[in-house]
Structure 1
Amino acid sequence: MEDAFDRLRLIRSANVGPVGFVQLLARFGSAGAAIAALPDLARRGGGRAPRLADAGAIEAELRRVEALGAQLLFLGSPDYPALLAQIDNPPPVLSYRGRRALMEARVVAMVGARNASASACRFARGLAAELGREGFAVVSGLARGIDTAAHAGSIEDGTIGIVAGGIDIHYPPENRDLQEAIAAQGLLIAEQPPGTEPRARHFPFRNRIIAGLALGTVVLEAAPRSGSLITARLAGEAGREVMAIPGSPLDPRSRGCNQLIRDGAILVQSAADIAEQLGPIDARAVRAPSQPFAPQPIDTEDGTRQRVQDLLSHDFVSVDELVRQSGEPPGAVQTVLLELELAGRLERGAGGRVRLA
């Protein structure tokens, strides 16, 4: 991609998130023009100009990616995975090592407890192997427990590991060999720059990639309020199938899965069950458009800006609700939100929701 340097600099600049990145490109046509417009947009949002990523740092990142044997993949590229591009906040850039073609395979996400039982890990390993024989690739997050078992079971036929930090950071440390094996035999993906140590805030971003790449997500052993249930929720919000393996009501690690089933997730017990659920939607989903939809941002007046700001609070609200209550065009509302975000005054959450920072 010709403007790869500018695109990477744009997303690495302060207060520019995945949604803002898409809207900036939609409005200004190129990353270079968007970078030039950032100071004025932030001023309109009531803040100082965001700190631009240092050009030297971007050059160093590009060199580091190459030295690691990795490649960058930008949103909008023909090779960008179609399913991932459909979510509300697709990653503007990914670094990857391994078999890029796995991004276009029929993919199933498998997630679950880090402190999983031995029997659940054995079941996950066997289920992942069966899914491989059914023609599916398995994506997971390289965490302890169920994730590790899922990768181990699917590495022969196709496994995708999503790391929360940089692509060169091994986390957890004991999965170093597994992570390198995935890069060599399967596909390893990271959104953060090389050298980034994973922090708590990075894991929900990782989870959205896991859910976004897959036709459906299977949960095995998950406590209530666990990261696995976040991944399941993100999958549901993206219109993907949510499936769960039932467990004993006496085991706290099964309560999350049982709750998912009670709330409408599909009960599955084998790879054949999963294939049956995903088969009818496979062709339709994989042929989906590869570009995310974003209302065209438009210039706004002070009155419009104030009306939208007055509707915001420190509680999350959907952008659709702001459009309804403000009576303003979607593009105008998106412009105000973008300005506030660039000014450091807005936080975006899952499902297209926003709140004051």
Structure 2
Amino acid sequence: MKTNFKKIHWLQLIRTNGIGPVRFWQFLKQYGSAEQALKFLSKVYPVEKAEAEIQQHHTKGYHLIAAFEPEFPQTLRRQPDCPPFISIYGNINCLNQPMAAIVGARNASLGGRQLSFSIAQELGKAGWQIVSGLARGIDERAHHGALATGTLGVLAGGVDCIYPPEHQNLYHDIAKKGAVISEMPLGTTPMAGLFPRRNRLIAGLSEGVIVIEAANRSGSLITADYALEQGADIFAVPGSPLDPRCAGSNKLLKQGAIVTESAADVLAVIGTPPSLDNQGQPSALPKETYTPDITKNSGDLKQHLLTDLSLTPTDFELLLPLYPQTASVVLGALCELELEGFVQRHAGNKFSRMPNAS
């Protein structure tokens, strides 16, 4: 492996205690290069550790890309706190494709998850690469919807720290055509304080951000705020004012976000990426539909039902594939929830969650 001294100096600077992305770029501007900046620091990250980190990426099959390298995402460079490095698992050639983000609640309703899947799938077919945070709920379904066309997952911890752990298969599936990225060193455990940094990367990569079922003070709203600062378009799916999961997304709509009910609403604003203009749809895309992949154990059945239901009535036949139990057991649990005042039954064998349910 050829030694890249500029890359080593950059890595030494950003890994030195007290140096974050903002100070990194300030130092580079002040001293002209990372090599010169290091001379003015009393305690510098050892060159041996920087070399070992680069080698570790190579050995484990990851890429470590610096902001001066051509593969680095051009859209991230517009951020004043652009990460000097990102670690990548997967296809480094996908990092400069046109991207749109889909974010939302982890405890999303069945309807929200289905919409996330379908919007991601349709935007992918139109030429957009979908960015999300590999979280449960909305993020997970967005990634699944865009697997055939390419999707980018952004992690809060190191790129080798899959979070949540049950998304290990999804992590590897994403890397087959797209990529998983992180700005944190390998082995970094995802902690609460790192998720806003992840959200700024999601926003920085995207020309538009679609928010589905976001509560007040949620990470999805942080992503939307970052995107607004960078001039990206903000889209939000309207939800019931009685559902706390929709309070944040409804707030965005009041503030001027674009009302979104399908991918067509998004494409009407951001259009088709230039690379696909006059070329039509990507060829040989497999036909995909939303397939729930969540298994529920019997002890949590009623709680899972409350999570999957929203204030909008859901057909019983759509709920059944989500659970390993028989139809009579699921129906029995719904009847119990109805008697307890948490669920309402509607004509056509449909059910909705009551506003007071939690």
Asked if these proteins are the same fold (TM beyond 0.5), I'd say yes
Answer whether contact 1:68 1:168 (CA < 8 A) is retained. no
- Kindly indicate whether structure 1 or structure 2 has the higher relative contact order, using CA contacts under 8 Å at least 6 residues apart: 1
Partner of 2:91: 99
1:7 matched to 2:32: no
Answer whether contact 1:215 1:282 (CA < 8 A) is retained. no
- For 1:341-356, list aligned pairs within 5 A: none
Report the alpha carbon displacement of residue 55 of structure 1 after superposing the two structures with TM.
2.8
Partner of 1:37: 40
Amino acid at match of 1:128: A
Distance in 2 between residues matched to 1:101 and 1:241, nearest whole Å: 25
1:279 matched to 2:268: no
Partner of 1:330: none
- For 1:1-357, list aligned pairs within 5 A: 2-39=5-42, 51-279=43-271
Q: 1:54 to 1:156 in 2, by over 3 A?
A: same
Answer whether contact 1:110 1:147 (CA < 8 A) is retained. yes
Distance in 2 between residues matched to 1:57 and 1:184, nearest whole Å: 30
Answer whether contact 1:94 1:189 (CA < 8 A) is retained. yes
Partner of 2:281: none
Report the alpha carbon displacement of residue 280 of structure 1 after superposing the two structures with TM.
8.7
Q: Once the two structures are superposed, what CA deviation does each residue of 1:244-294 show, in whole Å capped at 9, x if it has no partner? A: 1111112110111110000111112221211121139979xxxxxxxxxxx
Distance in 1 between residues matched to 2:203 and 2:84, nearest whole Å: 16
Q: Which structure features the higher share of helix residues? A: 1
> Which SS does the other structure have where 2:185 is aligned?
coil
Instruction: Give the TM-score normalised by structure 1.
Output: 0.73
Report the alpha carbon displacement of residue 16 of structure 1 after superposing the two structures with TM.
0.7
> Which SS does the other structure have where 1:160 is aligned?
strand
Q: Once the two structures are superposed, what CA deviation does each residue of 1:187-206 show, in whole Å capped at 9, x if it has no partner? A: 11111111111111111111
Answer whether contact 1:222 1:255 (CA < 8 A) is retained. yes
> Which SS does the other structure have where 1:208 is aligned?
helix
Report the alpha carbon displacement of residue 79 of structure 1 after superposing the two structures with TM.
2.6
Runs of 4+ in 1 over 4 A off after TM superposition: 280-283
Report the alpha carbon displacement of residue 2 of structure 1 after superposing the two structures with TM.
4.2
Report the alpha carbon displacement of residue 220 of structure 1 after superposing the two structures with TM.
0.3
> Which SS does the other structure have where 1:3 is aligned?
helix
Partner of 1:350: none
Q: Once the two structures are superposed, what CA deviation does each residue of 1:148-172 show, in whole Å capped at 9, x if it has no partner? A: 0100110110100011111111110
Amino acid at match of 1:137: Q
Count of aligned pairs between the two proteins: 272
Answer whether contact 2:103 2:132 (CA < 8 A) is retained. yes
Residue segments in structure 1 that go unaligned for 5+ positions in a row = 40-50, 284-357
Between the aligned residues of both structures, percent identity stands at: 44
> Which SS does the other structure have where 1:120 is aligned?
helix
Residue segments in structure 2 that go unaligned for 5+ positions in a row = 276-358
Distance in 1 between residues matched to 2:17 and 2:258, nearest whole Å: 40
**Residue range with higher mean Cα deviation, 140-149 or 18-27:** 18-27
Distance in 1 between residues matched to 2:211 and 2:171, nearest whole Å: 21
Report the alpha carbon displacement of residue 32 of structure 1 after superposing the two structures with TM.
1.3
Answer whether contact 1:167 1:192 (CA < 8 A) is retained. yes
